[in-house]
Structure 1
Amino acid sequence: MIANTITPREYWTIGVSLRQEPGHGRVAGPRGGRTMELRTVGVEEEFLLVDPSDGRPRAIATAVLGASEKSLTAVEAELQLQQIETGTRPCRTLDELEKQVRSARRAAACAARSIGVEIAAMGTSPLPVEAELTPSPRYERLAGRFGLTAQEQLTCGCHVHVGVESDEEGVAVLDRIRPWLAPLLALSANSPFWQGEDSRYSSYRSQVWSRWPSAGINDLFGSARAYHDTVREMVASETVLDTAMVYFDARLSQRYPTIEVRVADVCLHSEDAVLIAALVRALVDTAATDWAAGREPDPVRTEVLKLAAWRAGRSGLAGELIDPTTRRPAPALAVLENLCAHVRDALEANGDYTEIVQLQRVLAQRGNGAQVQRAVYRRTGRLRDVVRESVRRTFHEQ
């Protein structure tokens, strides 16, 4: 998604206010008759490439990328040839972000259709598939080192980037948002089927992804120096290939002056991606405010957060989650309400609160991707119908 003529850091500032200082992730903008600073936010989404006749993933990403280059569509390759990735520009408002997400989905769908396939916003393929590795020296090294973990890694996620002022602020944020990442996974859960069977998880993608040795929640860092020292130690262990393979649920981005929250499945509905992005930005704002005020992060143990993440992937919105405020089970929708309450000041300051309440109401009534997929399967008994409905919903509002 990055043009060859500019650097990633320059790319992240395209279209944002010239009043933004170089490298910073906050921009000045009007809101409610006054001037305030809004953090930039962007979304990356991964999609399956599926056959419109039978719903099976097709290893045709190279051709789709070729078609996207001709139309100047921002589409990138991923680990497997049955998937592609899109990305938005950095945005200040949710209206802008929603337009960017929809535009990226529309452009990717058009490129795919020109080759005879469709894009589907699904965390995993419901139908059996043997993934085919995208040819590249790095991916070949990765497959050689990690075997079936790499071979079976046909999963699609949603990554949210939010601008930060510095690595020190970014790491302070990472330390403070840890308890709230599992509810984001539950909200996005969109991968209930795996190799032709119901996995009994709402996000089986999260189970497959957790096989990587560097994936998941991390301990508290305390400083940017400690974060970077940890990353260097991980690479020096010669277990992960490089720093790009540090797959924390939330991390400092290598490419942009942002933190990158990577815990979510790709969302079936574009408005859910916007909801997650707004909540992530509000979490960043809330955490940065707490850090600036000298408030310490929640010292909750990583072992407890791993349990919370497992439960979020297992039940999604259909059961109970671990409430970060009590560390006890609570109905999923109640936990999401607590998340919204936790970041309400930031949502209101950003002008997002009313819209977020509405988006959460819609999500509660309609269900997340996993609930929609299972409802289609209960109605028809055919996984190819699940894929077709997912294709329709991926860009139904275009």
Structure 2
Amino acid sequence: MRTVGVEEELLVVDATGNPVPKGPEALAVAARDGEGEDVEQHDRAERGAAQTPETAHLMPELKAQQLELGTPVCSTLDEVRRELRHWRGRADAAASAVGARVAALATSPVAVEPVPTEGERYERLNEAFGLTAWDVLTCGCHVHVSVEDDEEGVAVLNRIRVWLPVLTAMTANSPFWRGRDTAYSSFRSQVWHRWPSAGPNGPFTGAADYHRLVDEVLATETVLDTGMVYFDARISAKWPTVEVRTADVALRVEDAVTLAGLVRGLVETAARDARAGRAVPEMRPEVLRLAGWRAGRSGLTGDLVHPLTGRPAPAADVLADLVDSVRPALADAGDEQTVADGVQNLLRRGTGADLQRRVHQETGDLTAVVRAAVAVTNGEDAARATVGATG
């Protein structure tokens, strides 16, 4: 059984729905309970100089209007669900202690001036990358799945890369930017690709080839450290895992669980295919970039580029083919029904982006969108959240 862990970035907002720079204050509260990692600890971990303490699962992010949570290593999707609910609750409790709440939104619907988090590494990021760093206030979700070693990890990266845009589409949760509808379902994915190291890769010949690329990226002195190797999927520098990084933070815990199940299924299926000597799926990085753009544009409401044909196909069909491609691995992990139900729920009720637009259409108020997101983040259903926002 491959283990799985999930990291989520959350917005910190006030009672009116506006993001507020109270993330560091909330972390101070969490740290007193042994649940928070301070900026200095996080700096060391991002540089690869230290690992996150097992007891600290709330962490700082680039902007003071954010918090990050990380689950422990999990063996089952039930564990992932419990841990996400628990740590979302702990993040909200820490934020509530300083007069704020948390919302699982991948961008802020309301216009906001991002406030940088204090800390040496964050200061270097802002100095080196200018407006790209100053302007970005985005929240993603990263899924880690265990691998035996870097050789297996690279064999997995080679085979899952064509499916990663589908994960962006199914988690799309960022239709608004600076107070307006962007016409994208995941505008976070557009903003994220401003970073120089972000995006898809071609296949690698092996672990040495992968590490050679990382060394060449670092040798350009364009990125600060290995923490800034922002590939769509990568070998973790801190853990024995493959880390998939293309998803928006999901509004609903259930959708994050579905994502985790699919990523684990993809990793296990890819490893099996590598052991069986099956060919690596072919798709040029340039086409993959187009597929990712299209996934961010329409989410699950339009066509996606099918990973196996390179041609447009309805999103529901592509998602169904993804599930079918990993079904044996899902079944062996005990995840098949959970993932199948999760995908059907997504297709029936839509993504976080769909909910945000629905609330905005009903209320005409972007702060109502945020308030509804706070409710859903903390376990209330979409209908109740919408009623609360309109009332």
Aligned residue for 1:278?
A: 261
Equivalent residue number for residue 66 of structure 1 = 28
Matched ranges for 1:105-144 at <5 A: 105-144=88-127
Distance 1:107 1:228 in 2: 37
Specify the alignment match of 1:162 in structure 2: 145
Looking at structure 1, the residues matched to 253 and 81 of structure 2 have their Cα atoms a distance apart, in angstroms, of 7
> Alpha-carbon deviations, 1:276-326, whole Å to 9, x = none?
000000000000001111112112111111110000000001111011122
Task: Provide the rounded CA distance (Å) in 2 between the counterparts of 1:228 and 1:82.
Answer: 34
Aligned to 1:39, the other structure's residue is in SS state coil
Question: Is residue 13 of structure 2 the alignment partner of residue 50 of structure 1?
Answer: yes
Query: CA RMSD for the aligned pairs?
Result: 1.0
After superposition, the Cα gap between the structure-2 partners of 1:151 and 1:198, relative to the gap in structure 1 and judged at 3 Å, is same
The alpha-carbon deviation at position 243 of structure 1 amounts to: 1.3
In structure 1, the residue matched to 2:317 is 334
**Structure-1 separation of matches of 2:313 and 2:228:** 34
Q: Distance in 2 between matches of 1:221 and 1:290?
A: 16
**Matches of 1:296 and 1:244 in 2, distance apart?**
31
* 5+ residue gaps, structure 2: 36-56, 382-391
Letter in 2 for 1:140: E
Query: Residue type of the partner of 1:152?
Result: D
Q: Distance in 2 between matches of 1:111 and 1:120?
A: 13
Query: Which amino acid counterpart does residue 270 of structure 1 have in structure 2?
Result: V
Residue 95 of structure 1 pairs with residue 78 of structure 2: yes
* Deviations 1:316-375, CA, capped at 9 Å, x for gaps: 011110111221111111110000011011011111111111111111111110000000
TM-score (norm 1): 0.89
Question: How far apart are the structure 1 equivalents of 2:154 and 2:269?
Answer: 14
Deviation of residue 220 (structure 1)? 0.9
In structure 1, C-alpha distance between the alignment counterparts of 2:181 and 2:155, rounded to whole Å: 39
Correspondences of 1:231-310 after superposition (within 5 Å): 231-310=214-293
Describe the superposition over 1:250-276 as per-residue Cα deviations: whole angstroms up to 9, x where unpaired.
Answer: 001111110100100000000100000
The size of the alignment, in residue pairs, is: 360
- Alpha-carbon distance in 2 for matches of 1:333, 1:231: 35
What is the identity, as a one-letter code, of the residue corresponding to 2:6?
A: V
Give the C-alpha shift of residue 71 in structure 1. 2.7
SS of alignment partner, residue 180 of structure 1: helix
**Take 1:40 and 1:313, find their aligned partners in 2: how far apart are those partners?**
28
Q: Give the drift of 1:397.
A: 5.0
Quick one: which amino acid aligns to residue 93 of structure 2?
Answer: C
Aligned equivalents of 1:397 and 1:160: distance in 2?
24
Q: For residue 165 of structure 1, what is the amino acid of its counterpart?
A: E
User: Separation in 2 of the partners of 1:254 and 1:396?
Assistant: 33
Aligned equivalents of 1:211, 1:201: Cα separation in 2: 16
Question: Equivalents in 2 of 1:291, 1:268: separation in Å?
Answer: 34
Instruction: Say yes or no: does 1:371 pair with 2:371.
Output: no
Distance 1:72 1:202 in 2: 37
Separation of aligned partners in 2, 1:84 and 1:150: 17
Q: Name the structure with the higher helix share.
A: 2
Q: Deviations over 1:9-39 (max 9, x none)?
A: xxxxxxxxxxxxxxxxxxxxxxxxxxxxx10
CA distance in 2, matches of 1:314, 1:279: 21
Give the AA of the match of 2:332.
A
> Does 1:313 pair with 2:296?
yes
Q: Of residues 61, 64, 71 in structure 2, which corresponds to 1:81?
A: 64
Q: Deviations over 1:114-160 (max 9, x none)?
A: 11101000000011111111111111111111100001111000000
Could you say which residue in structure 2 is the equivalent of 1:39? 2
Q: Give the SS at the match of 1:283.
A: helix
What is the alpha-carbon distance in structure 2 between the residues aligned to residue 220 and residue 352 of structure 1?
Answer: 28
Structure 2 CA distance, aligned partners of 1:87 and 1:142? 22
Taking the aligned partners of 1:358 and 1:299, their CA distance within structure 2 comes to 30
Letter of the structure 1 residue corresponding to residue 296 of structure 2 = G
Letter paired with 1:240: V
Question: Within 1, Cα distance between the matches of 2:219 and 2:308?
Answer: 37
Deviations 1:175-203 (A, max 9, x none): 11011000000000000000000011000
Give distance in 2, aligned partners of 1:335 and 1:209: 24
Cα distance in 2 for partners of 1:186, 1:71 equals 37
**TM superposition score normalised by structure 2:** 0.91
Distance in 2 separating the partners of 1:205 and 1:68:
27
Q: Secondary structure at the match of 1:396?
A: coil
Residue 177 of structure 1 corresponds to which residue in structure 2? 160
* Counterpart amino acid of residue 77 in structure 2: L
Query: What amino acid sits opposite 2:370 in the alignment?
Result: V
Distance 2:219 2:175 in 1: 36
> What is the Cα deviation at residue 244 of structure 1?
1.1
- Deviation at 1:221? 1.1
2:29 maps to amino acid: A
CA displacement 1:181-240 (0-9 Å, x = unmatched) = 000000000000000000110000000000001001111112100010100011111111
Gaps of 5+ in 1: 1-37
Give 3-state SS (helix, strand or coil) of 2:142's partner: strand
Aligned AA (1:48): L
